[in-house]
Every structure is written in structure tokens, then in C-alpha cells.
Amino acid sequence: MALERPKSLRELALEHLRSSIVDGSLKMGQVLSERKISEDLGVSKSPVREALAQLRDEGLVSIEPQKGARVFSLSDSEVSQICDFRQAIEIAAFELALARDAAGLSNEMQRVVGEMGLARSKGNEKQYLALDTIFHQLIFEHAGNDYLSASYSRYIGKIAALRTHLSKLPQHTQLSFDEHAGIASAVKEGNLRQIKSLLIDHIDRTRQAYKSAAIVFEGMSKS
């Protein structure tokens, strides 16, 4: 059995920072200090700097000369563009997934929705949000198109981080669960028209929820 290669300091710093942004421990717009991160992780500034550069490429961090790094923040326009992107790419992936492995996609989605329900019943929000991300990844896994998967993966961290922030809104998780269950049922029935309609509505709610909570998130970015 091949031994697993130990992770580099850069990889460890990258995983820590990405996870902290996605789960909301680091807030939108929050200033990031290389020195403090280095001290917290017990590493030099070099791997932290490399990790921040990678996160910049993923859209999770912005870096400005003389100003340093901060967690990404989003305008209404940027959120709308993300939603447009998701609708276009997820619908395209759904069409391929249903044509190539409808049964496999349906079985996996039913399983994940079941786990989402269990996470909700236990009040495990972090696990629920991770399963939400997995649910949408399933579409690309079963589509069998590396280019679509790569395009989606480039922004998956930012989408997951946005999902975390929206989860703080009243009734958001309940509505999210109902929508995922509805999509999974439509997949089981093989009803592509209904899937498209439900998916568009699901993603549009993200667009509208962010607009309605703009003041809340603006406050978060300044804290």
C-alpha cells in the first residue's frame, strides 16, 4: 500500500484558511494578517503568503498592494453573476448526468438528502452545509465532463462561503432543505423540465436572499 505524502506547510495553511472562510469563522471583508496567521498556525510567513495567493486565485481572498489581504466580499451584482453562472452550468451538467447516469444520480441525491435531514434534526448546521455542497457536486460527478467540473470547482469555495452566510437568515435552512428534497424527487422521476424549474427557483432565492440581507452582510464586512 502506497504511503500518503505528508502535507506541506503551505497545504496545511491553505486548508485551514479555506475552511475558516467557508464555515464563516473568517467573515466577509475581514482583514487577514500574515503575522497573526503565522503565529496561530506556528509556521513562517512564507507558506501563509503562498496559501493566500492560492485563495486569491480561487476568489476567496483579495490582495492589494500596501493594504494586504482580506476575505472576499460580494456586491449584489457579483452575487447575481454567480447565480447566473450556477444556473447555466448546473442545468448543462444536469442534462448530461440524466442522459448518462440517471439512476446513479438519483440514488446519490436521495442518500444525501436523507443525510441532510438527519443533520438538520441534530442541529448540525456545519454538516448540513457541507452536504448541501456535496449535493450540487453530484450533478457534475455524474455528468462525466471534466471541463464542466473544473469550471464549477474554481468557484465552489466562494459558493460554499456564500451559502454559510445565508444560512444565518430566518427559515433559510428549512427552505433550502425543502428545495433540495424537491429536486431529488424530480431527478428520481426523470423530469428534466421540473428539475430546471426547481433549480432556477432554488438559485434565484439565493439572489433575492442576499439582496434582502445586504445591510446585515455590510455590517459583517465592517466588523
Neighbours of 19 (CB within 10 A): 13
Residue 181 pLDDT: 98
Q: What percent of the chain has pLDDT over 70?
A: 92
pLDDT tens digits, one per residue of 36-73:
999 999 999 999 999 999 999 888 999 988 788 999 98
Among the listed residues 130, 131, 109, 128, the one whose alpha carbon sits nearest the alpha carbon of residue 182: 109
Which pairs with CB-CB distance under 8 Å and at least 24 residues apart come from 19-25?
Answer: 21/55, 21/60, 21/61, 21/71, 21/72, 21/157, 21/161, 22/60, 22/157, 22/160, 22/161, 22/164, 23/126, 23/129, 23/164, 24/161, 24/164, 24/165
Does residue 167 have a pLDDT over 60? Answer: yes
Average pLDDT over residues 18-27: 92
CB 175 within 8 A of CB 108: no
pLDDT tens digits, one per residue of 112-144:
999 999 999 999 999 999 999 999 999 999 999
CATH of domain 9-71: 1.10.10.10
Integer distance in angstroms from the first to the last C-alpha of the chain?
Answer: 49
Residue 144 pLDDT: 96
Residue 64 pLDDT: 87
Q: What percent of the chain has pLDDT over 90?
A: 73
Fold of 76-222: Four Helix Bundle (Hemerythrin (Met), subunit A) (1.20.120)
C-alpha–C-alpha distance, residues 10 and 7, integer Å: 8
C-alpha–C-alpha distance, residues 84 and 90, integer Å: 10
Residue 168 pLDDT: 84
C-alpha–C-alpha distance, residues 6 and 65, integer Å: 33
pLDDT tens digits, one per residue of 175-186:
999 999 999 999
Band of pLDDT at residue 19, cut at 50, 70 and 90: very high
Does residue 204 have a pLDDT over 50? Answer: yes
Question: Global pTM?
Answer: 0.85
Domain boundaries, the chain: 9-71, 76-222
CB 130 within 8 A of CB 27: no
